[in-house]
Amino acid sequence: MSGVQDLISVYRALARQCDYALHLGLTEAGLRSFKPSVRACPGCGRTGSTAFQHLVKQIDDFLRAQMPQWKTRYPDVETMKVTVMGCIVNGPGESKHADIGISLPGTGEVQAAPVYIDGEKALTLRGEHIAAEFQALVERYIERRFGGATV
């Protein structure tokens, strides 16, 4: 089992039915991190272009490509959580719960992409180079948080 409360419930139910010593295990099989997780919304009518899907892929590919060198330089970097959201509706809330996140403008929204770092709005990106600028922010964040350097 991987849920603590489920394990306790099963343990109690079994204990009521028998008088044996019980040993039940709690596992998190398959939850080990190999790269920072990227959480993204699936896209909907509010994401009026494919820019959002391209950015998600760019960020995910970027993290995957950097991991071989990052994991030797930055202990625990694989535990980092990144969000890439497609609009202002859910984007800020989801981004606040990540280590670093970005919310792209949706259809009809002001062309601005707020970036949240450690739960706080840090800045807003605009223009054609949002992906590259966000990647640079991710690198600086990793260096500061996991490398002990100051930015």
Q: What is the pLDDT of residues 81-126, one digit of tens each?
A: 999 888 777 788 888 889 999 988 777 777 788 999 999 999 999 9
**Cβ(115)–Cβ(125) below 8 Å:** yes
pLDDT for res 89 = 78
Asked whether residue 27 falls in the same domain as residue 37, the answer is: no
Number of domains forming the structure of the chain: 2
- pLDDT at 112 (0 to 100): 84
Most confidently predicted of 51-60, 67-76, 80-89, 104-113:
67-76
Q: Taking 50 as the threshold, does the pLDDT of residue 151 lie above it?
A: no
Q: Strand runs (DSSP E) across 56-126, as ranges?
A: 81-85, 100-103, 113-117, 120-125
3-state secondary structure of 68: helix
Domain, as residue range, for 22: 1-32
Question: Are 81 and 137 found together in one domain?
Answer: yes
Domain containing residue 55: CATH number: 3.30.413.10
Question: What's the CA gap between 124 and 92, in Å, rounded?
Answer: 12
pTM: 0.72
pLDDT at 133 over 90: yes
Check the CA dihedral 77-143-123-129 and report its sign. negative
Do residues 27 and 43 both lie within one domain? no
- 1 pLDDT exceeds 60? no
Residue 47 near residue 92 (C-beta atoms within 8 A): no
Q: Please give the share of the chain, as a percent, with pLDDT higher than 90.
A: 32
